Structure 1
C-alpha cells in the first residue's frame, strides 16, 4: 500500500510505473484526475464514513514485523528478525517497570527506524494512552 498526498507526488511517481504495478492499493489524500492505476482510490473513499465502526482485522502475532541490522562493531554484521509479538511484548513489559499514564508526555528524539524509538517511544506511549 502506498499513501500519497496529491497530484504532484503522483506525477513524480510516474517514472517508476512498472514498480507501481505491483501495488495492491494506492491511497491519495487529494483526488488525482490522471490516475492510471485500477487499484488507486481517493483516501476519503477508503476510510469508513464518519461515525461508522472500523472493521476488525486479525493478524499473525508471530509474523515478521522488522529486520534490525547491526553494524558489526563487535563481529560480523547481521540482521535480527523480530515479530510483532517481540516488539509489542517489549513495550508491554515496560509498563510493569515504570508507572506511565495518559498524563505523561513522551519526547520522540530517536529516528523512527530505531527499534527503541518504535518500542518505547511510541508503542509504549500508545499503550498507556500518553501523547508523543
Structure 2
C-alpha cells in the first residue's frame, strides 16, 4: 500500500516540477487541457521521475523475496519447498539469488538505457 502512495507522490512531484510558463505557452497556442497534459506535461514528468521510479522498481523486485515470510509462494518459497524435499540447502537459495541478481541487473540496464536515450535526444 505504501509503495503505491510513494509512486503517486513521485509522479505528483514530477508533474508539479513542470514550469507554469510551458503550460501557459501550450494553452496560448490553442491546445486543450488534455492535450497539454498528454503532449507537454506527461512526457516531461516521465523523464524527471524515471531515475527515482527505476530505483523504486528495483526495491520492489528485491522486496518480493520477503513475500515468502507471509506464506506466499514466490522464488524463495519455492526454494524452501525444494530444500525440504531434497535436503539440499545451498543450491536452491543460490539459484534464487542468481535469478534476483539477473532480474536486478536487467532492470537496472533498461532504466539506464532509457535515461541515456533521453540524454541523447536532449543533446540533438
Query: TM-score normalised to the size of structure 1?
Result: 0.23
Q: Rg larger in 1 or in 2?
A: 2
Bigger proportion of residues as helix: 2
- Say which structure is richer in strand: 1
Q: Which has the higher contact order (CA 8 A, sep 6+)?
A: 2
